[in-house]
Structure 1
Amino acid sequence: MRIRLLLLAALIVALAAPTGAWAQAPKPAEPEKGSSRVKQTAEITMDKGGVIKIEFFPEDAPKTVENFVTLAKKGFYDGLTFHRVEPNFVVQGGDPKGDGTGDPGYKIKAEFNKQQHVRGVLAMARSQAPDSAGCQFYITLAPAHFLDGKYTVFGKVVSGMNIVDGIKKGDKMKTVKIIDAQ
C-alpha cells in the first residue's frame, strides 16, 4: 500500500511538472551594468519653418511610441499635413489621405494610461473603436481632461509650442525625424 502511494505521488509530480504548476515566474532581466536605455525624441520640421520637439512616454505607451518611431524613420509622415485644426482644442495630422480617413494599413492596440490631456500632449487619434489608431496623432492646444483614459497619450511637446499654436489646416510637416540620445 505504501509503495502504491509513493508511486501515485511520483506520478502526480511527473504530470504536473510540465504544466509549470510549481515553476516560479521568470524574473525581469537585470539591466547590464553601465548600460542605459536610449531615450528617443522627435523633431517635426514644418514646411513653413519652425521645429516642434517631442518627448515620448515609452513607459506608458511602448507599442504606440514604437509605432510612431517606426513610421517616422520610414519617412511616412514627411510631407503630410495637419488636416484638422480645432482652436483651443487640438491640431491633428499624420493622415496619408489628408482628410481624417487614412491609415498605414493596420491598426494598433490602445494603451490608455495615467497621462493627462494637458496643453501640449501628443496622443493617437482614432475612430470610436478603442483599438483603431494607426498613424494619425494630435497635439492638444489646451487641457482636454474629458479625453483622459480614452485616448493613448504617448508624448508631449517640449519645445516649439508656439509653432503648434500657429498651425493652420493644411500646413505640411516637411520632415519628422527621430533623435536617439543616451
Structure 2
Amino acid sequence: MRKLLLVAAATLAAGPALATGLEIEMGGGVSGTVVIDLFEDVAPQHVERITTLAEEGAYDGVVFHRVIDGFMAQTGDVEFGVAEGDLSQAGTGGSDLPDLPAEFSELPFDRGTVGMARASDPDSANSQFFIMFAPAPHLDGQYTVVGEVTSGMDVIDTVARGDGPSGAVAEPDLMERVTVTE
C-alpha cells in the first residue's frame, strides 16, 4: 500500500498528464469533425503547446490559411489567422509563447500526419500546424510530427484549396471549435 501511495504522490507532483488528442469542429464552407491523436511520447513540448492553446480557446475560429492540393492544409495562426479579423497577414504569426525547439523523429509524413509548421529555423515552431493530404517524404526528419488524423480525413479533403505555389486561400475554411480529448 505504501508503494502505491508513493507512486500516486509522485504522479501528482509531476503535474497533469498530457491530453491525447484534439477534436476539431469545422466551419466556413466545411462541416464535420476531425479527430487527431496527439503523440505526446514523440513530441511532448509541441503536444503540450497545442493542447494549451486549444484549452485556452486560441484555435477557435482560426482559418486554414495555406492549403496546397495534393500536399497539405495549414492552420493555427492564433495571432493573424482568426476568421473575424484582418487575414492579410495570416500565416505570419504565432502565439505569445516562445518558439519551440525541434522534436524531430523517425515518423514519416504520410496522409493524415499532423506536423508543426515553422520558419527556416528548425527551432521556430510555435502554434501553426498542418495536416498532410498525401505522403511527403522530403519532410521526414525536417519537421516535428505531433500526431495523426484518426477520423475525419474526408472532412479535411474538402477544405478550400489555395492559389499559386504559396497555397494562400482567398475564402478559407476554419476550425470553429477545438477541444482537447483524453
TM bracket (short chain): 0.7 to 0.9
Task: Provide the TM-score with structure 1 as the length reference.
Answer: 0.77
Name the counterpart of 2:92. 101
1:3 corresponds to:
none
Report % sequence identity: 42
2:38 matched to which residue of 1?
56
What residue number does 2:52 align with?
A: 70
Gaps of 5+ in 2: 1-5, 12-16, 82-89, 161-168
Larger Rg: 1
Q: 1:38 to 1:149 in 2, by over 3 A?
A: closer
SS state of the match for residue 174, structure 1?
A: strand
For each residue in 1:136-177, what CA deviation from the matched residue of structure 2 results, as whole angstroms up to 9, or x when unmatched? 000000000100000000100000000011111310110010
**Higher mean C-alpha displacement, 130-139 vs 97-106:** 97-106
| 4+ long deviations beyond 3 Å | none
| TM norm structure 2 | 0.77
Q: Is the CA contact 2:94–2:128 (under 8 Å) kept in the aligned structure 1?
A: yes
Correspondence 1:158 to 2:150? yes
Q: Distance in 2 between matches of 1:110 and 1:31?
A: 31
Deviation, 1:100, is 1.2
Once the two structures are superposed, residues 78-136 of structure 1 have per-residue CA deviations (whole angstroms, 9 ceiling, x without a partner) of 00100011000000001131321011022111100111101000010000000101000
Q: Secondary structure at the match of 1:156?
A: strand
In the aligned structure 2, how far is the partner of 1:132 from the partner of 1:61?
14
Distance in 2 between residues matched to 1:51 and 1:119, nearest whole Å: 17
Aligned pairs, number: 148
For 1:1-16, list aligned pairs within 5 A: none
Equivalent of 1:46, from 26, 37, 40? 26
CA RMSD of aligned residues (A): 1.7
Cα deviation, 1:35-57, whole Å, max 9, x if unaligned, reads: 9x675211010014200000011
| 1:79 alignment partner AA | G
Q: What is the rounded CA distance, in whole Å, between the counterparts of 1:79 and 1:129 in structure 2? A: 27
